[in-house]
């Protein structure tokens, strides 16, 4: 048979038949497998299903975990975490790909989780969330305590029982999941919710918070290693005690909390003192105060007994003062008599000066003095007017000597044009002029152009020496 005939005799399959055959073959051959690999592309769908990929150095295997199995996970899947997935291999014909349907998944040993935990611790510590300076002191006796834990576990019963034994307080419980999917978000929301309560509101705001959970494996406690929980604890304005796991268990919330308790019961012991111890302390302090008061009184009584003999009696203290009072009483009449005599003499001396003749003589003297003053005042205006008249005459003579009429008397004249004095020759030609002399005025008409300059130099006026203190001539 030729190759062509062999090819013609092959059975034809549809795409669906091929896909179904491959699916059955893969599922029959790999019905139940455990696969170890590193998580990549982890995505939680809104339906609750978990989609991811498992990879190693040479290959990638897609995987899906349905909602029921994803909700039972004891840790939060993250990229880079090495896990062991248990499930069955199958194909997805719609995309011509094979994948694993995961029934359960766990970290590939504590080493992988510890490596992730170590990396997260360093990251949050670098942000300062674990800084001791951020931690606040716990209140000595809180009125209200908020507890964040599972409402059905033994933890809440242990805390309530221990608080009742030591010092009963008002306790508010915020129920949350403490393990599995969504636990971390619920715990963080509870911390933020307690902090959001307004003081004095209908729901009392706690003075102290306790986040508690019983012991378990690293995977069981993983919710308290999530960043959302650590950041909520660090941001809490209310002091917070972390009581997660047993004494040997350590989670990241322990570093961010204000105090870490080794157990939930120890957290209750940290939260409140023992009432009986406080009562005993108060009794002891009261007894000590009583003994101290008695001792002080005894010491004061002893000191009083020592000093009492040295204190003088009231009669000893008042005796000198009484004697001084008697002396003053005896001297008072004599002092009054002497005072009356003294002032009587002064009165007589003053009365002697008040006789009518003396008064009349004093009045006559004052009258003559007043007449002299009046005469002086009457003469003063005339004298002042005479002085002012003399000064005015002097000023008039000064004004007359400085006036231009004295210049005219020496042979000079004043030329005016329309009442204005002409000072320049160029202002006069062709204009009617008025010339003022010492004894009258003349009308004149100026010729065109200035007069020719004299051929001989004008005779200079002799210099007049002015004696200091005399009035010289202006011209």
The token duo for 36 is 């170890």
Contact call for residues 184 and 253 (beta carbons, < 8 A): no
**How many other CB atoms are there within 10 angstroms of residue 226's CB atom?**
22
Per-residue model confidence (pLDDT) at position 346: 83
- 296 DSSP 8-state letter: H
Q: Residue 462: is its pLDDT beyond 60?
A: no
Contact 145, 206 (CB under 8 A): yes
pTM of the shown model: 0.47
Specify whether the CB–CB gap between 244 and 275 falls below 8 A. Answer: no
pLDDT digits (tens, 9 = 90+) for 371-406: 888 888 888 888 888 888 888 888 877 877 677 777
The domains located in the chain, with CATH, are 25-106 (2.40.50.140), 138-276 (3.40.50.261)
Tokens of 165: 């034994």
Angle between helices 227-235 and 183-196 (to 10 degrees): 10
Give every CB contact of residue 357 below 8 A, 6+ residues apart in sequence. none
> Ramachandran region of residue 314, left (φ > 0), alpha (ψ -120 to 50) or beta?
alpha
- 452: phi > 0 → left, psi -120 to 50 → alpha, else beta; which? beta
Residues 6 or more apart whose CB falls under 8 angstroms from that of 13 comprise 21
Contact indicator for 221, 245 with CB cutoff of 8 Å: yes
Q: How far apart are the first and last CA of the chain?
A: 166
**pLDDT above 70 for 470:** no
Query: If you ran DSSP here, which 8-state letter would residue 464 be given?
Result: P
* Cα–Cα dist 47/474, whole Å: 128
Stretch among 8-12, 72-76, 284-288 having the lowest mean pLDDT? 8-12
pLDDT tens-place string over residues 303-347: 888 887 777 677 767 777 887 887 888 888 888 888 888 888 888
Per-residue pLDDT, 450: 56
């Amino acid at each position: 048979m030729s190759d062509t005939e062999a090819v013609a005799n092959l059975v034809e399959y549809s795409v669906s038949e091929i896909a179904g055959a491959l699916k059955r073959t893969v599922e029959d051959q790999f019905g139940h497998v455990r696969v170890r690999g590193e998580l990549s592309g982890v995505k939680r769908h809104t339906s609750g299903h978990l989609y991811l990929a498992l990879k190693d150095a040479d290959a990638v295997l897609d995987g899906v975990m349905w909602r029921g199995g994803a909700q039972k996970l004891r840790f939060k899947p993250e990229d880079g975490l090495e896990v062991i997935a248990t499930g069955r291999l199958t194909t997805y014909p719609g995309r011509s790909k094979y994948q694993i349907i995961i029934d359960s998944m766990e970290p590939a040993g504590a080493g992988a989780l510890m490596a992730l935990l170590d990396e997260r611790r360093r990251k949050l510590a670098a942000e300062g969330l674990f800084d001791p300076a951020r931690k606040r002191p716990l209140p000595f006796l809180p009125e209200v305590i908020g507890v964040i834990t599972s409402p059905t576990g033994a933890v809440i019963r242990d805390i309530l029982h221990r608080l009742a034994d030591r010092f009963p307080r008002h306790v508010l419980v915020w129920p949350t999941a403490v393990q599995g999917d969504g636990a971390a978000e619920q715990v963080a929301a509870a911390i933020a919710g307690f902090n959001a309560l307004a003081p004095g509101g209908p729901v009392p705001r706690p003075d102290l918070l306790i986040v508690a959970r019983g012991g378990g494996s690293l995977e069981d406690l993983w919710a308290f290693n999530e960043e959302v929980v650590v950041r909520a604890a660090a941001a809490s304005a209310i002091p917070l005690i972390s009581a997660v796991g047993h004494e040997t268990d350590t989670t990241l919330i322990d570093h961010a909390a204000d105090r870490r308790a080794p157990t939930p019961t120890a957290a209750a012991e940290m939260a409140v003192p023992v009432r009986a111890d406080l009562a005993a302390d108060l009794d002891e302090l009261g007894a000590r105060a009583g003994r101290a008061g008695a001792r002080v009184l005894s010491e004061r009584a002893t000191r009083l007994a020592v000093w009492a003999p040295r204190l003088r009696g009231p009669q000893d203290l008042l005796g000198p003062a009484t004697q001084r009072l008697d002396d003053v009483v005896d001297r008072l009449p004599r002092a009054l008599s002497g005072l009356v005599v003294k002032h009587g003499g002064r009165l007589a001396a003053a009365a002697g000066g008040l006789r009518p003749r003396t008064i009349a003589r004093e009045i006559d003297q004052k009258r003559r003095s007043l007449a002299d003053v009046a005469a002086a005042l009457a003469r003063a205006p005339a004298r002042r007017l005479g002085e002012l008249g003399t000064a005015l005459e002097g000023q008039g003579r000064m004004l007359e000597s400085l006036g231009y009429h004295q210049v005219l008397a020496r042979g000079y004249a004043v030329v005016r044009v329309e009442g204005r004095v002409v000072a320049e020759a160029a202002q006069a030609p062709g204009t009617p002029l008025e010339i003022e002399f010492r004894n009258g005025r003349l009308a004149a008409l100026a010729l065109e152009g200035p007069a020719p300059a004299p051929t001989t130099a004008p005779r200079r006026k002799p210099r007049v020496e002015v004696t200091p203190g005399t009035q010289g001539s202006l011209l």
